[in-house]
Structure 1
Amino acid sequence: MVRFREGARLDTSGVQDRRGGGGRAAAVGGGGIGVLGLIAFVLVQVLGGGGGSGSGSGADVASILSQLQGGGSGTADNTELAQECRTGADANDSADCAAVAIVDSIQDYWTTALPQTSGTAYADTQTVFFSGSVQTACGGATSGSGPFYCPGDQLVYVDLTFFDQLQTQFGARGGTFVDAYVLAHEYGHHVQNLLGTNQRVTPGETGPTSGTVRLELQADCYAGVWANHATTVSDDGQEPLITEITQDDVDRALDAASRIGDDFIQTNLGSGTVDQDAFTHGSSAQRERWFSTGYQSGDPGACDTFGTDDLG
């Protein structure tokens, strides 16, 4: 399983904790997010918003449900997080701290890689931990939206109980590297925003070869690229935060990718039939393929989903 370097120092400034006190259980894993979150997730998918591991377009649907779900999140308070999440050893023991370490690792990679591969400087952003519901520059959202990136404020949003929901509601095997895959996918959307890739997508466009699907598959690929480099020493000699990613970790990420494909969600959590014209994120097979492409190549240039007729 994923392990973090025991003595590594964690930087909690990459996170805003808006949960209003308390976090997930100290041990990795925990309870599910509940039936209402699942219903919201399915509504977002059926109506084309995209749901989990998306770009935030499901926020409007989620805001409709915010009155029902409660638990709104507002002012950030990192005091508790900063006290509890100091080192890699803490990340090995705590799900919250693991998420902090993952965010640190992802941004460490793109800070160096993005200018090297594209000539575009990477701008650090933050991940907002929220509970129940949250207000963003893209509108209101609830836990049922799944993790998302909002281009309007350039922030990643996640209710950490989503990772538990992946196991309890979607049947995923779960694990710390699954959490990392989801977060790295959202940071892939931040990279796309910085590169201007979002401008190649027509808002509301759906379908198996749509720009929306290409954007999501590219974010999956970028997640794989980060994972390829996550355990390597950087060019400036900086030791990685993550010391080990096993094949079992990768298999778990691929399993999760297959369970948030449009066809899986439509069949198992929606109408019961597959409607490719409504695809917003790509099929299970496509999501697995593009994560694998990034992971095996370690090259952001291999993630050109907009330049191929073969999305898988």
Structure 2
Amino acid sequence: MTFNDNASVGGSTARRRGGGAALAGGGIAGIGAIAVLLFQLFTGTDLSGLLGGGATTGNGDESTIEQCQTGADANERDDCRLAAGQVVLDQFWDSQVQGYTPPQLIVVDGATGTQCGTASNQTGPFYCPPEQTVYVDPTFFALLRQQFDATAGPLAQLYVLAHEYGHHVQNIAGIIQDHPDNGTGPDSNGVRRELQADCFAGAFVGDMTNQVDENGVPFLEAPTPQQIADAINAAQTVGDDHIQQESGGVVNPDSWTHGSSAQRQRWFEKGMQSGVSACETFGIPGGSL
């Protein structure tokens, strides 16, 4: 997936914030590190203690995302791609949800404090409901690519952003409030919320070439089969069962918070093929997710 070079992606309200320390070295290495990092990337769970070191908190200064006006800019830089992704996602959800209000997007530089804890490349992207804000540190993608040889390509990055946007939609639509946490497990509300967010992300991917700029130019080119396969692989990689296996533990469904690899792939594909209306995960009987 790439942005059309001549698409106009200006107008994002994304802000850069930070000024704390980046990911510290030391700690675990190899496949265990990949599993921990991928878990953080898609869940916003801080496991920095396992990696060694820590990130400095503090809100830091805010600034705009500079030189991010065209699709070519978005194709060159992760921060601009995220800002451009905000523009596309807001347009998509405005067409799907009556009275839609967009979340704020904060591109984290190092680390920053939030009402939901520290946002950094150690915690990974997450959505903070009381702030209605998505936090993403783009250096996390580079870390995965450069140091851990993990896939974090352009479509995978937009999948991550779209997943967090899915949580925002759940928040403003009252889904989170109607289905509060009720523990862990394969049929828990937490798993159902995460699978629905995967489905919402898939719905966006399936429709994203229909989003156009003010000149009628599609923001995004149609994804290739390989890019779709990479996005599906990303969904599989962050399944609870896969993370438990790669971390050297026993697969324990009772502890699941996000769903299995097969579930995450299935719901992403369901959204991509059938759209937002197919993303009802809460009315399905236990064992059928």
Q: Does 1:137 align with 2:115?
A: yes
Q: Distance in 1 between matches of 2:49 and 2:62?
A: 20
Asked if 1:74 corresponds to 2:60, the answer is yes
Superposed CA RMSD in Å reads 3.3
* Secondary structure of 1:77's aligned partner: strand
The aligned counterpart of 1:98 is 81
Deviation at 1:161, TM superposition (A): 2.2
Corresponding residue of 2:41? 52
What is the CA–CA distance in structure 2 between the aligned matches of 1:171 and 1:44, rounded to whole Å? 12
Distance (Å, rounded) in 2 between the aligned partners of 1:64 and 1:201: 31
- 1:300 Cα deviation from its structure 2 partner: 1.0
Change (3 A) 1:105 1:233: closer
Unaligned runs of 5+ in 1: 22-31, 116-120
Q: Of 287, 293, 303, which aligns to 2:279?
A: 303
Distance 1:175 1:142 in 2: 19
Cα–Cα, structure 1 residues 189 and 66, in superposed 2: closer, same or farther, change >3 Å? farther
Task: State whether residues 12 and 87 of structure 2, in contact with CA within 8 Å, keep that contact through their aligned partners in structure 1.
Answer: no
Deviation at 1:71?
6.9
Runs of 4+ residues deviating >6 angstroms: 37-45, 61-67
CA contact (8 A) 1:5 1:240 kept: yes
**CA shift at 1:265, angstroms?**
1.1
1:195 pairs with one of 149, 161, 173 = 173
TM-score by structure 2 length?
Answer: 0.85
Separation of aligned partners in 2, 1:161 and 1:76: 17
Q: Are positions 1:256 and 2:217 aligned together?
A: no
CA distance in 1, matches of 2:36, 2:269: 29
Change (3 A) 1:264 1:194: same
Matches within 5 A, 1:130-169: 130-167=108-145
CA distance in 2, matches of 1:126, 1:147: 13
1:13 matched residue in structure 2:
12
CA contact (8 A) 2:183 2:190 kept: yes
Percent identity, aligned pairs only, is 39
Q: Residue 285 of structure 1 aligns to a residue in which SS?
A: helix
Aligned CA distance change for structure 1 residues 170 and 43 (closer, same or farther; 3 Å): closer
Cα drift, residue 123 of structure 1: 0.4
Distance 1:43 1:93 in 2: 27
TM-score (norm 1): 0.79
Checking the alignment, whether the CA contact within 8 Å between 2:79 and 2:107 is kept in structure 1 is no
Query: Partner residue of 2:243?
Result: 265
Q: Distance in 1 between matches of 2:283 and 2:26?
A: 39
User: Does the 8 A contact of 1:166 with 1:172 survive in 2?
Assistant: yes
Task: Give the superposition deviation at 1:145.
Answer: 1.7
> 1:255 Cα deviation (Å)?
0.9
Residue identity in the other structure for 1:263: D
- Confirm or deny: 8 A CA contact 1:41 1:144 kept in the other structure: no
In the alignment, is the contact (CA less than 8 A) between 2:12 and 2:86 conserved in 1?
Answer: no
Provide closer, same or farther for how the CA distance between residues 101 and 44 of structure 1 changes in structure 2, counting only shifts above 3 A. closer
Q: Deviations for 1:158-211, whole angstroms, at most 9, x for unmatched residues?
A: 111222344467764331000010000000000000111101333362111100
Amino acid in the other structure paired with 1:128: I
For residues 116 and 175 of structure 2, what CA distance do their matches in structure 1 show?
A: 18
The number of equivalent residue pairs is 284
AA matched with 2:113:
Q
Change (3 A) 1:40 1:129: farther
Mapped to 1, the partners of 2:102 and 2:184 lie a distance apart of 30
Q: Deviations over 1:123-146 (max 9, x none)?
A: 012211113322112233442221
Q: Which amino acid aligns with 2:129?
A: P
Whether the 8 Å contact between 2:115 and 2:130 is mirrored in structure 1 is yes
Check 1:285–1:172 CA distance in 2 against 1; reply closer, same or farther (3 A cut). farther
What SS does the aligned partner of 2:8 have? coil
Change (3 A) 1:253 1:64: closer
Q: Is the 8 A contact 2:25 2:53 kept in 1?
A: no
Structure 1 pair 34–129 and aligned structure 2 pair: CA distance change class (3 A): farther
Structure 2 letter corresponding to 1:13: S
1:287 aligns with 2:261: no
2:222 to 241, 244, 250: 244
